[in-house]
């Protein structure tokens, strides 16, 4: 067991501390409860509720990346971060392109 910990520390890869995991967990719970309360109690109109859901989803995504996937703790070549950014750009291209096609490609029958 000691040899595993020693080789793990020599490579420079560390996992988050218990404190960072607890902070991430609490933030995840809060960011889950906010849209749930907004929807169940009809606190806002429809467009504001959708905005609240989208903003908390984006924040939840960032919390997961920072506290659980340790994106900020990578070594110099940040291949995982570059791959993630590329994947998000491809996803946005597909979603925005699909919405654009569905909106402006109306065929007259």
Q: How far apart are CA 67 and CA 22, in angstroms?
A: 9
Give the pTM. Answer: 0.64
Q: Give the ranges where the chain is alpha helix by DSSP (H).
A: 2-10, 18-40, 46-63, 79-104
Percent of the chain with pLDDT over 90: 41
Distances (CA, A) of 2 to 9, 13, 18, 68, 71: 11, 16, 20, 24, 27
Task: Read off the pLDDT of residues 33-74 as tens digits, 9 standing for 90 and up.
Answer: 999 999 999 999 999 999 999 999 999 988 888 888 877 766
Domain boundaries, the chain: 2-73, 76-109
């Amino acid at each position: 067991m000691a040899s595993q910990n020693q080789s793990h520390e020599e490579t420079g890869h560390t996992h988050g501390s218990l404190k960072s995991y607890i902070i991430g967990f609490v933030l995840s719970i809060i960011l889950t409860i906010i849209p749930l309360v907004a929807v169940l109690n009809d606190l806002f109109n429809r467009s504001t509720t959708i905005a609240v859901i989208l903003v908390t989803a984006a924040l939840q995504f960032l919390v997961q990346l920072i506290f659980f996937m340790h994106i900020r703790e990578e070594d110099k070549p940040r291949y995982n971060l570059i791959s993630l950014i590329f994947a998000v750009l491809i996803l946005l291209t597909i979603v925005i392109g699909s919405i654009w096609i569905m909106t402006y490609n109306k065929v007259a029958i």
